[in-house]
Structure formats: structure tokens, C-alpha cells
Amino acid sequence: SMSLLNQHSILVVVPAYNAASHLPELLYRLRNFVCDSNLLIVDDGSSDDTLEILKHEKVRFISLPTNRGKGRALAAGFAYARAHRYRSVLTLDADLQHQPEELHRFYAIDDGRTIAIGTRNISPGSYLTSLLVSIFSARRIRDSQSGYRLIPAHVLGRLDLRAAAFDFESEMLFKLGAPDSDIVEVPVSTVYNRADSN
């Protein structure tokens, strides 16, 4: 069955709010590294052409009827991943700040129990020495606020997905901390917003 196939797979979840200007390029680049069955876009009640683009591109998506915020959009993607028994979820933002070409760095460490946070501006040398960060010293990571992250699906069961608040991404790290999960940092590129993004 499909769910048995998924138990070794990563679902890539992209929360998208009024992302029409970036979506065609993002989907084109993502599809070089992710098969369509492992890609889910969550349209967070966009008022632009986001939904039309998703339909035209024939990509798997969930569309929330009203804009509920990024936390709720992520929660919808997490619920989908758990319902379809994916092993892990990999989230990235829709504004092209997170490079799809760096997905492999997260794939490489997915073992169904490691939480990985994409962190900018860490040099590869120092990164290796502090690879494993215990949840008790994870405050440093929390400051990165990076939405480029890998989360094992089983630990998502500890989150109340119905109560996903605005600061869900920050709170998530504290709630996910547990003896059976490692949190690691993955170096990712810094891409500065273009003038047209908000």
C-alpha cells in the first residue's frame, strides 16, 4: 500500500502564502530533487494566483480557505505526513530563500529520529564539531528561526497540531526535545530577499 511505501520517505512541505511570483521557479527547481508524490504545497488562503498556479502545475496541494498563518499551514502538512505514514517531513519556505539544491544535505542525515535545522552562516569546519546539539543547549539554534528543517514524523505526535500558534516554529523545538531525538544543524546558504518580496 501507499503508506507502506512512504515509511522510508521524506515528505517535502512548503507553506505558501501569496507566493505566485516565486512558485513556478520554486516548483521547477524542487522537481529536480523531489518526486511529485513526495511534494506537498500548503496554500495558506492566498489572495493572489497561488492556487491557480498549483492547479496548473498539477502539484499535490492542500488549500486552506482563509489565511491562518504559517504555523497552521505547517500543521496541515504535518497532519498529512502522519496520515500517509511518511518517515520524516522536510519544510522549506516558498520565497526562494531556501535553496532546493541543498535538500540533499537534509536527505543525507535522515534516519527517522534526527531533527535538523538549516542554519545560515556557520562555517563547515565549526559545523562538524558542534553537529550534535542536545535539546538542553538548543537555545542557540532557536534563534536561527530557520524554516528549512527536517523533522521525523513520529515526534510530530508530541505537538498539538490544532493549537498551532504564530510562533509555532520556535515552540516546536522545545516541544520536540526528547531523549530519542538528536537536533543537528545543517549549513545552508544565505539568500537575501529580493526587492519584490515582503
C-alpha distances in angstroms, 62 versus 80, 91, 165?
A: 9, 15, 19
Secondary structure class of 89 (helix, strand, coil): strand
Q: Is it the case that residue 114 has pLDDT exceeding 90?
A: no
At residue 133, the pLDDT reads: 46
At residue 173, the pLDDT reads: 61
pLDDT in tens, 133-148: 444 444 455 445 678 9
Instruction: Please compute the mean of the pLDDT values over residues 41-68 and round it to a whole number.
Output: 96
Cβ–Cβ < 8 Å for 185, 117: yes
H-only helix segments in 65-180:
70-83, 103-107, 124-129, 139-142, 153-156, 168-176
Q: Which of 21-25, 44-48, 98-102, 168-172 has the lowest mean pLDDT?
A: 168-172
Instruction: Judge residue 50's burial from the number of C-beta atoms within 10 Å of its C-beta, 0-12 exposed, 13-18 middle, 19 or more buried.
Output: buried
Q: Is it the case that residue 171 has pLDDT exceeding 80?
A: no
At residue 189, the pLDDT reads: 85
At residue 145, the pLDDT reads: 61
